[in-house]
């Protein structure tokens, strides 16, 4: 029932103008064919079947790159991803509603225990698939470059630093002429993995200035907020003197502050974000094959950018039948492969997995098997 090439004939009958449908038959859509048609070399044997995933909306752009890229090389297969949020995605996954979940936080021990039913007696595990630097974005007339230390960021978001010409900010920015504009910190109004990673960063790097801990829901009462990353970005864009935190790829035209790592102020970059994840240890006490990273926010190597978010793909080690197991295996391998990471990076702006992580993830995925 799913066709890629469709015409509007039934629609015209439904009341949309037939003229539009007719005009669709001619004309160019502005695309040009790629000269080298070999771009679609299949990474794996052609898989087939239906696969459904659900979860974090932070990785939606990347997931769409993966599902589309995968179906391009495996036309027989159909992979869908509903961005319903990490929590809802994990719940659907544990109830066997979907075969994989995208989540901003790895499955908890409890959830892994619960997973044996969904996983045909096996266990669920996580592999990292999406690394996104979180940018501290701001909109301040007359200021394009801004450098901030973690203490200053924490002070701003805790409400202790209230004007842009505060001595703490001036100290970070000796060369910038700062206006006396009031600072309007903007947070996420929905609970989100971005908030969790951001507050964890503040807690670890500036424990004195940030006393609210690591939370999914913004802990400071009142203030401006936006729903979702795009909502937050539009609030920051809509005010003067606003500052917020968002996935770097969605920052648009907003200014992005350099954050202090070690003794230097570091601009976010995919490479620095990848390196921060690579340099961080794994979470201890996890099953072998459950690749979960304990992000080290206090790295002091200026080639790293420790304010990052890692999204995982939650998978089962056992699936009902061979077809599903093979499909999951080939899709997940594609996602963590350098090819899949490159495809996502180009369109979603995320940072690639390091070779080591990619290999470990692939090794875990290779162990997926069918029941019995």
> Interaction with other proteins in 210-269: which residues (CB under 8 A)?
216-217, 221-231, 233-235, 238-240, 249-252
Task: Name the nearest CA neighbour of 343 among 327, 328, 331, 356.
Answer: 331
Selected binder of other proteins within 102, 128, 133, 193 (CB under 8 A): 193
The answer to the question of residue 343 lying near other proteins (CB under 8 A) is yes
How deeply is 233 buried, as exposed, middle or buried, from its count of CB atoms within 10 A (0-12, 13-18, 19+)? Answer: buried
- Considering only residues 58 to 87 of the shown chain, the ones binding other proteins according to CB under 8 A are 60-61, 64-65, 67-69, 71-73, 80-87
Using the rule CB under 8 A, give the single segment among 5-13, 151-159, 286-294, 308-316 that binds other proteins: 5-13
Of 190 and 317, which has the nearer Cβ to other proteins?
190
The CB density around residue 302, as the number of other CB atoms within 10 Å, is 14
- Per-residue binder mask for other proteins (CB under 8 A), 132-151, x = binder: --------------------
Three-state secondary structure call for residue 247: strand
Of 254 and 261, which has the nearer Cβ to other proteins?
254
Selected binder of other proteins within 120, 189, 341, 358 (CB under 8 A): 189
369-370 and 124-139: which strand pairing?
Answer: unpaired
Q: How far apart are CA 216 and CA 317, in angstroms?
A: 29
Q: What are phi and psi of 176, to 5 degrees?
A: -105, 135
Of 15 and 285, which has the nearer Cβ to other proteins?
15
CB of 141 to other proteins, least distance (A): 13
Of 193 and 289, which has the nearer Cβ to other proteins?
193
CB of 298 to other proteins, least distance (A): 26
- Considering only residues 88 to 127 of the shown chain, the ones binding other proteins according to CB under 8 A are 88, 91-92, 95-98
The answer to the question of residue 327 lying near other proteins (CB under 8 A) is no
How deeply is 97 buried, as exposed, middle or buried, from its count of CB atoms within 10 A (0-12, 13-18, 19+)? Answer: middle
Q: How far apart are CA 325 and CA 309, in angstroms?
A: 28
The answer to the question of residue 57 lying near other proteins (CB under 8 A) is yes
- Please count the residues of this chain forming the interface with other proteins, following the rule CB under 8 A: 93
Of 69 and 289, which has the nearer Cβ to other proteins?
69
- Per-residue binder mask for other proteins (CB under 8 A), 15-54, x = binder: xx--xxxxxx-xxxxxxxxx--x-xx-----------x--
CB of 258 to other proteins, least distance (A): 20
CB of 84 to other proteins, least distance (A): 6
Q: How far apart are CA 182 and CA 132, in angstroms?
A: 30
Virtual CA dihedral for 350, 250, 228, 187, nearest 10 degrees? 100
Q: How far apart are CA 270 and CA 308, in angstroms?
A: 10
The answer to the question of residue 2 lying near other proteins (CB under 8 A) is yes
Three-state secondary structure call for residue 201: helix
Tell me the DSSP string of 344-368: HHHHH-PBPPPHHHHHHHHHHHHT-
The answer to the question of residue 359 lying near other proteins (CB under 8 A) is no
Contacts of 238 (CB under 8 A, 6+ apart): none
CB of 292 to other proteins, least distance (A): 18
Cα dihedral across residues 84, 136, 251, 236: positive or negative: positive
Of 149 and 337, which has the nearer Cβ to other proteins?
337
Of 55 and 289, which has the nearer Cβ to other proteins?
55
Of 32 and 180, which has the nearer Cβ to other proteins?
32
Of 261 and 315, which has the nearer Cβ to other proteins?
315
Whether 274 and 354 have beta carbons less than 8 Å apart is answered as: yes
């Amino acid at each position: 029932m799913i066709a890629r090439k469709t015409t509007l004939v039934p629609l015209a009958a439904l009341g949309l103008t037939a003229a539009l449908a007719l005009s669709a038959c001619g004309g160019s859509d502005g695309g040009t064919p790629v000269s080298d048609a070999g771009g679609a070399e299949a990474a794996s044997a052609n898989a087939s079947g239906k696969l459904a995933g659900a979860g974090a909306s932070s990785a939606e752009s990347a997931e769409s790159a993966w599902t589309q890229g995968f179906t391009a090389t495996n036309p027989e297969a159909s992979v869908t991803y509903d961005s319903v949020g990490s929590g809802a995605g994990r719940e659907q996954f544990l109830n066997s509603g979907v075969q994989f979940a995208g989540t901003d936080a790895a499955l908890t021990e409890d959830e892994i225990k619960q997973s044996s039913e969904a996983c045909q007696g096996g266990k669920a595990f996580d592999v990292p698939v999406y690394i996104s630097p979180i940018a501290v974005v701001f909109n301040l007339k007359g200021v394009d470059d801004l450098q901030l230390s973690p203490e200053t960021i924490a002070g701003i978001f805790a409400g202790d630093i209230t004007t842009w010409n505060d001595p703490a900010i001036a100290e970070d920015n000796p060369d910038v002429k700062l206006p006396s504009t009031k600072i309007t910190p903007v947070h996420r109004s929905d609970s989100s993995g971005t908030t969790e990673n951001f507050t964890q960063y503040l807690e670890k790097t500036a424990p004195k200035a940030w006393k609210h801990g690591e939370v999914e829901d913004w802990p400071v009462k009142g203030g401006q907020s936006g729903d979702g990353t795009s909502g937050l970005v539009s609030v920051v864009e809509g005010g003067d003197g606003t500052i917020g935190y968002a996935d770097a790829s969605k920052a648009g035209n907003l200014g992005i502050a350099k954050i202090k790592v070690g003794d230097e102020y570091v601009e976010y970059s995919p490479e620095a974000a990848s390196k921060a994840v690579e340099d961080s240890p794994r979470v201890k006490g996890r099953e072998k094959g459950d690749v979960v990273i304990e992000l080290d926010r206090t790295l002091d190597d200026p080639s790293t950018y420790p304010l990052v978010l890692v999204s995982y793909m939650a998978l089962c080690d056992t699936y009902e039948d061979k077809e599903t197991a093979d499909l999951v295996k080939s899709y997940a391998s594609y996602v963590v492969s350098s090819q899949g990471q490159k495809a996502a990076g180009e369109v979603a702006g995320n940072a690639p997995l390091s070779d080591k992580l990619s290999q470990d993830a692939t090794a875990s995925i290779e162990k997926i098997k069918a029941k019995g």
